[in-house]
Structure 1
Amino acid sequence: MKSVIDEKLERMASGSAPRVLDLFSGCGGISLGFHRAGFHVQGAVEMDPDAARSHGANFHAKNPAHSRSVDITATSPQGLADLLELGDMQRCVDVITGGPPCQAFARVGRSKLREVDSHPQAFIHDPRAQLFRRYLAYVEAFMPIAVLMENVPDILNHGGHNVAEEVCESLSALGYTPRYTLVNVALYGVPQMRERMFLIAYRNELDTIPDFPLPTHFIDLPPGYHGSRNVALKALRAMPSPSRFYVDPPGNADATSPAVTAGQALNDLQPINPQKLIQEGKLGRRKADLTTLARYRGQGSSDYQHQMRGWPGFEASETGVTSHVIRYLPRDYRIFSRMRQGDQYPQAHALSETIFREELVRRRIHGEAIKEGSREYTALYASIVPPYDPTKFPNKWRKMWRDKPARTLMAHLGKDSYSHIHYSQGRTISVREAARLQSFPDGFQFCGAMNAAFKQIGNAVPPLMAYQIARTMKSRLVGHGVEEQALDS
């Protein structure tokens, strides 16, 4: 009698597309990459209602069940199979992907947890740090042929504990051969410097050791990215014996394409002049409409722009692109315009002080002298100068370089986007520009308000990175039995 694993292997060998279940899917970054590589997205698990609606709208628009938010801690694997009408739980999925929430593992955000819990290691007690166990429970129940997990590098050093190593030990006990590594997505064509941990595991029946795709691009990363990697590897180096599962990041001396820059990613999108929009009453008066079309600026001048316009199944509209909308930030547009590329908050704060002094002079020339220390003086200062201490928040703002990939996009984009100020237009980036920097194609639609869309983008795995990994995994699963969706660029 054939085993479930044998049945799945035979099914894929016959040419049927491998079926993916995406856990902690967000709006669908991993799903997009696997879809383009020829996988079938069976369904997803996502707790955030807006992200769940985005995933459902883009991958299962005709089935409302796929747009419902699902709490994985309160939903059994069988319950999910029933909800999504997947059929026999052990036979309906070939690959499980996903990334348990990274906030519990990332050093960014731990200060917020300490505000809630006075313990200096409060982040260790964050219940989100245990969701990887729920991920493993789903793997055990659905019995996929392959597994992909993504997370921040700090998962290797969570309070001195290497969670990736523990996940690999658990997968090994379940009958899988796992490996994990650290990669920077800028080396794979994403216009963003984003360091991440990827873990791949295959059923022992495949008799194959996971490998990772070779980089397609090259870049000399800033020192900070090497530093974050070294911190993440600290626990690995401190282990009493060498890891059985960690492998060094793949290198590719033959990569001849420089990393995609912010300019190459964005310069075909229509310019946005916030001052003009304010004068016309089109900015700040009401909530931004993510469905409004903005016409392209020409036919596209880079291969990357052509990819984003022509992604199979998510092609852009011929008339324009949606979600090209920005936040209403009237205090700071003058500061943005005078910042130089690469400037951060200390430089921005100094510029605001200069602008304030210039405004005092301008008013004095026009006969409106303002006395220092007066209520009017204080109000004018607050209307121009941001309130944050420049010695405590040096990285709060950053103006992007045109000729370099963007810095890491984070979920904090949902609260403000000052970390990514446009390199030439004196404003923060639009929702669509954030999507471009994360490699979401122009035909992908985001559900919810602007803040929700920014958050979904910042939380996502870059689809282009997921695509490169999916191609590698597909070659191990089915050889060339499944055709990936070609992309004419």
Structure 2
Amino acid sequence: MAPKVLDLFCGAGGFSLGFHRAGFEVVGAIDYEPAALETFRLHHDTLAVPADLSRLLDDGGPTGEDLLDLVGLTPADVDVVIGGPPCQGYSQSSDRDPDDPINDLVWTFLEVVEAADAHAFAMENVPGLLEHKGGETMAALVECADSLGYNVAYEVLNAADFEVPQNRHRVIFFGVRGGEPTHPEPLGGEPIPVQEALSQVTGELLPDNEWTDHRPTTVEKIAQLNVGESLHGKHRQVRLDPTKPARTITASNRHIHPFEDRELSIRECAVLQSFPPTYDFAGWENRDARTRQVGNAVPPKLAEHIAYALLKSLWEVTDRVPTDSVRTSSKQIAGPTGRLTEREVEATLLRAGGLTWEQVGDEMGITYKTASTHYYRAREKAEMARETFAVFERLNLGERD
């Protein structure tokens, strides 16, 4: 069976989308923002409920078990908890208050992890979390997760290293019970530039692609901006370099188009976050709400690579690959490469998951000799085609002893 995921602070669904693409099953989601939840429900066929997770910290307030009840889940229904608690208290792009109550939402995340008795978790936040109170907060989080029985690791990743056309540095905090957490390795090669990403946005008929109707004086000011220059100083509304990944997309700031004298549309910001071009965002009556949804999201492509790394850690814990996830991943990997068949990818993933040839054959419904043939054909193709080999390298897979 596919590993089952509960998404906390789910927002518009970027984290869940990445895990779904990697073959996980999203079984529940929680957020506080109505518009974000509506967006999530448009794209994910699972129960997504409104809840103020900060109340878990109140004396006499709801517990982690209560939150599971709210989404109709028990610990047996959850393998992995994911989430990106609000980061304003840690963000370098805002006036940080080290004592802001919102900072404590990282603790509610771990409280739900404990209640779910999850095999693993993945939490995303801004790098400022590592510096909060001189590093004491991160040390306490590690100690807490360790006391719950998790082997933990954390690392700052740049989304641009994982097929996201944007420089976006985020700390990923992993925990796995019984195994070692594995972070995704940067893919290498040239990152996706802004102009390539924006080529997906071909007209105003796409959802959320309406452009700002600037005042003539504002248009004149924008027209004077060179690449890297800002309309309002510091990091706000910067003219993007078309040949490089975008600057960080935030919840309150749309940068300036590289070629046109206007802000980016919400749709353009979304593709720079690696959302599909047709991914709808609810809340048409409130443009700021849609901007927040996009800027607060975990980029789906980054989430997908996090999911693959976590999946590998789960294989090592169970000594068995989740075969439903393999089948889903096989379709998604084989399609983009155009060189591997689904059967070749499936045989490779199952073998990499630690199954014997007989077990691989049984899972695929074929003889072990045919299964091994699929596997070795895939390896031969990988050696001949750099882009195909990148699939194996991306998943950090190889035949296990």
Question: Same fold per TM (> 0.5)?
Answer: yes
When residues 23 and 196 of structure 1 are mapped into structure 2, their CA distance, relative to the original with a 3 A threshold, is same
Identity of aligned pairs, percent? 33
Is this contact kept in 2: 1:155–1:162, CA < 8 A?
no
- 1:394 Cα deviation after fit: 3.2
Partner of 1:266: 198
Partner of 2:249: 409
- 1:57 Cα deviation after fit: 2.1
- 1:480 Cα deviation after fit: 5.8
Question: 1:443-482 alignment to 2 at 5 Å?
Answer: 443-448=278-283, 449-478=286-315, 479=321, 481=323, 482=325
Higher-helix-fraction structure: 2
Partner of 2:360: none
Alpha-carbon distance between aligned partners in 2 of 1:209 and 1:394, rounded to the nearest angstrom:
41
Is this contact kept in 1: 2:2–2:322, CA < 8 A?
no
Task: Please tell me the root mean square deviation across aligned C-alpha atoms, in Å.
Answer: 1.8
Alpha-carbon distance between aligned partners in 2 of 1:469 and 1:340, rounded to the nearest angstrom:
35
Alpha-carbon distance between aligned partners in 1 of 2:28 and 2:4, rounded to the nearest angstrom:
9
Is this contact kept in 1: 2:252–2:288, CA < 8 A?
no
Alpha-carbon distance between aligned partners in 2 of 1:109 and 1:172, rounded to the nearest angstrom:
31
Deviations 1:4-44 (A, max 9, x none): xxxxxxxxxxxx01110011111111101000000011111
Partner of 1:279: none
- 1:168 Cα deviation after fit: 1.3
When residues 162 and 99 of structure 1 are mapped into structure 2, their CA distance, relative to the original with a 3 A threshold, is farther
Alpha-carbon distance between aligned partners in 1 of 2:258 and 2:22, rounded to the nearest angstrom:
33
Deviations 1:79-134 (A, max 9, x none): 33333223xx2211000001211101113221xx6xxxxxxxxx121001111111
Deviations 1:189-226 (A, max 9, x none): 1100011100111013xxx211211111xxxxxxxxxx
SS class of match (1:332): helix
The letter for the 2-side match of 1:265 is A
The letter for the 2-side match of 1:36 is R
Partner of 2:186: 215
Partner of 2:70: 83
Alpha-carbon distance between aligned partners in 2 of 1:480 and 1:91, rounded to the nearest angstrom:
16
Query: Which one of 259, 276, 301 corresponds to residue 441 of structure 1?
Result: 276
Deviations 1:248-293 (A, max 9, x none): xxxxxxx3x201000010024236xxxxxxxxxxxxxxxxxxxxx6
Q: What TM-score do the two structures reach when normalised by structure 1?
A: 0.62
The letter for the 1-side match of 2:192 is V
Partner of 1:71: 52
When residues 202 and 268 of structure 1 are mapped into structure 2, their CA distance, relative to the original with a 3 A threshold, is closer
Partner of 2:229: 343
Alpha-carbon distance between aligned partners in 2 of 1:445 and 1:162, rounded to the nearest angstrom:
40
List alignment gaps of at least 5 residues for structure 1: 1-15, 114-122, 217-254, 272-292, 295-320, 346-387
Q: What TM-score do the two structures reach when normalised by structure 2?
A: 0.75
Partner of 1:28: 13
Structure 1 residue 160 corresponds to structure 2 residue 134: yes
Alpha-carbon distance between aligned partners in 2 of 1:43 and 1:436, rounded to the nearest angstrom:
25
Per mean C-alpha deviation after superposition, the further-off stretch among 456-465 and 160-169 is: 160-169
Deviations 1:390-439 (A, max 9, x none): xxx333331001101000111113xxx2xx10001111111111000001
Alpha-carbon distance between aligned partners in 2 of 1:84 and 1:209, rounded to the nearest angstrom:
29
Is this contact kept in 2: 1:400–1:421, CA < 8 A?
yes
Partner of 2:93: 108
How many residue pairs match? The answer is 317
SS class of match (1:200): strand
- 1:164 Cα deviation after fit: 2.5
Alpha-carbon distance between aligned partners in 2 of 1:214 and 1:37, rounded to the nearest angstrom:
16
List alignment gaps of at least 5 residues for structure 2: 56-61, 316-320, 337-401
The letter for the 2-side match of 1:213 is P
When Rg is computed on C-alpha atoms for both structures, the one with the higher figure is 1
Question: 1:27-176 alignment to 2 at 5 Å?
Answer: 27-60=12-45, 66=48, 68-74=49-55, 75-86=62-73, 89-110=74-95, 123-176=97-150
Is this contact kept in 2: 1:342–1:398, CA < 8 A?
yes
SS class of match (2:54): coil
Deviations 1:124-161 (A, max 9, x none): 21001111111111111110000101111010111313
The letter for the 1-side match of 2:145 is L
Is this contact kept in 1: 2:8–2:29, CA < 8 A?
yes
SS class of match (1:97): strand
Alpha-carbon distance between aligned partners in 1 of 2:93 and 2:87, rounded to the nearest angstrom:
10
Alpha-carbon distance between aligned partners in 2 of 1:141 and 1:269, rounded to the nearest angstrom:
43
Alpha-carbon distance between aligned partners in 1 of 2:136 and 2:19, rounded to the nearest angstrom:
27
